[in-house]
Amino acid sequence: MSDLSIVLRSLRTRLLSTTISVASVAVAVALLLVLLSLRESATQAFRRGSGNAHLMVGADASPLVVVLNGLFYANPPSRSIPHAKAQEIRTSFPWAWSVATQLGDSYRGSPLVATEPALFTAFEPVAGRPFQFRTGAAFDRPFQVVVGAQAAAMHGLRVGDKIVTTHGSWGSREGGHQHENHPCEVVGTLEPTGSAHDRALFTALETSWVIHAEERLEREEASHTGEADGDAHADDAGHDHDHGHIHVEVADLTDEDRLVTDILLRLPTRPGSDASAAMQSQYDRLRRDPTITVAQPAQEVGRLFAIVGSIDEILLAMALAVLVSSGIGILLSLYNSMEMRRRHIAILRVLGTSAGRVFGMVLAEAAIIGLLGAVGGVLLTLVAGSVAAELVEARVGLVLDSMPPVRTVIAVVAGSVVLAMLAGVLPAIRAYGTPIVRHLGAID
């Protein structure tokens, strides 16, 4: 028999009260950890996903929307950049590299990014870490696709598989009409990057241009022959398509077909440096063009966090308040139990237990409640965090950790134990001062 076994027995004797106290700490700790985890990993995932592009040009209404749609695939961009404008931008400065993308199509809800092979060599989704191929290689002609790691796992795609892409319909396995005349072959799969790019599929710009050129021509022909009303259906953008047999070659594409939704740009930098002296001047220059929207991806991600930062702080404050209230719960539980346990304490004192040891035992009880609650909270976080991470991954495509860094977990667990011990101080003082004789029976 030791002080610890007395403490454990005391907790077991008050099983219901102990369980409620432990559960309240566990919920508070889990809430705090999930929030910290989501905050930490969302920050990292967004920062990771913005990659090494210095600037990004799109036609959406605001720079933040350009970044969210173009790099994080939140929604298909609503407007495109004409070919001539895209060429003008790409040749207006000796960029280190520029990569154009055309977004809008999908495969079973996963975004299809029509782009250039340079995306796999020049663009780094995580700064310093370019795309790595798990199997196969980059596309080298139209109607070939490279599949992001999460999309490959989600759809069970492997090199050699044939897929039919869909117009629009991001985030949904239903809807949109399928480009059945142009099945695409999977030629490569990517290693995970921990960013939104993992849930995307990539194909050549010409794939998208040819498909949509054919559809445009078919629409035009249908309207000429008066068949449009009987054989067409509406797509997401409100255009009419039919399924005639017009065949378009890449060489037949006009500037009207060669639309892009975004252009990723990187300025020349000195070796070992990510910054460019020309950054601000080029940003300002491009901003003066009212037909396009220019964004600095890293800055927009920072702005996004500034916007959600206050909400984030409120949520954290609420989680801390829940933790403190669970500490108050421990205090009340222990304090109220002291009234019933005074005889118990008096007996321990008669049997040779000092007041200091009794004080320590009550503090140990509180600490154990805090520790059990914190451990329970960590376990709860593993479950709740993974559910939350799955939801975010499915909705936004960001890979989030279900648990914050170990250092944070240790700090929260230690904080919970300290808070519980603080909550135990008042009951411990009450136990320390228990008058022995009064609780052994009437003085004769």
Instruction: Give residues in contact with another protein (CB under 8 A).
Output: 1-2, 6, 9-10, 12-13, 343-344, 346-357, 436-437, 440-444
**In Å, what is the CA distance from 86 to each residue of 142, 169, 219, 250, 296?**
20, 25, 26, 18, 17
Q: Cβ closer to another protein: 106 or 337?
A: 337
Q: Cβ closer to another protein: 258 or 344?
A: 344
Q: Cβ closer to another protein: 55 or 431?
A: 431
Q: Cβ closer to another protein: 216 or 357?
A: 357
Q: Cβ closer to another protein: 301 or 345?
A: 345
**Tokens 């378009």 -> residue:** 248
CA dihedral in degrees (26, 27, 31, 36; nearest 10)?
A: 0
How far apart are CB 338 and another protein at their closest, in Å? 14
How far apart are CB 25 and another protein at their closest, in Å? 23
How far apart are CB 436 and another protein at their closest, in Å? 5
How far apart are CB 443 and another protein at their closest, in Å? 6
How far apart are CB 302 and another protein at their closest, in Å? 57
DSSP per-residue letters across 261-313: SEEEEE----TT----TTHHHHHHHHHT-TTSEEE-HHHHHHHHHHHHHHHHH
Q: How many CB atoms neighbour CB 275 within 10 A?
A: 9
How far apart are CB 428 and another protein at their closest, in Å? 16
Q: Cβ closer to another protein: 290 or 352?
A: 352
DSSP per-residue letters across 71-124: TS-SS--S--B-HHHHHHHHHSS--SEEEEEEEEEEETTEEEEEE-THHHHT--
Is residue 105 within 8 Å of residue 114, measured between CB atoms?
A: yes
Q: Cβ closer to another protein: 246 or 347?
A: 347
Beta-bridge partners for 81: 260
How far apart are CB 368 and another protein at their closest, in Å? 16
Q: Cβ closer to another protein: 41 or 434?
A: 434
How far apart are CB 337 and another protein at their closest, in Å? 12
Cα distance between residue 150 and residue 152, in whole Å: 5
DSSP per-residue letters across 262-273: EEEEE----TT-
Which of 117, 278, 292, 124 minimizes the C-alpha distance to 194?
124
Q: How many CB atoms neighbour CB 437 within 10 A?
A: 11
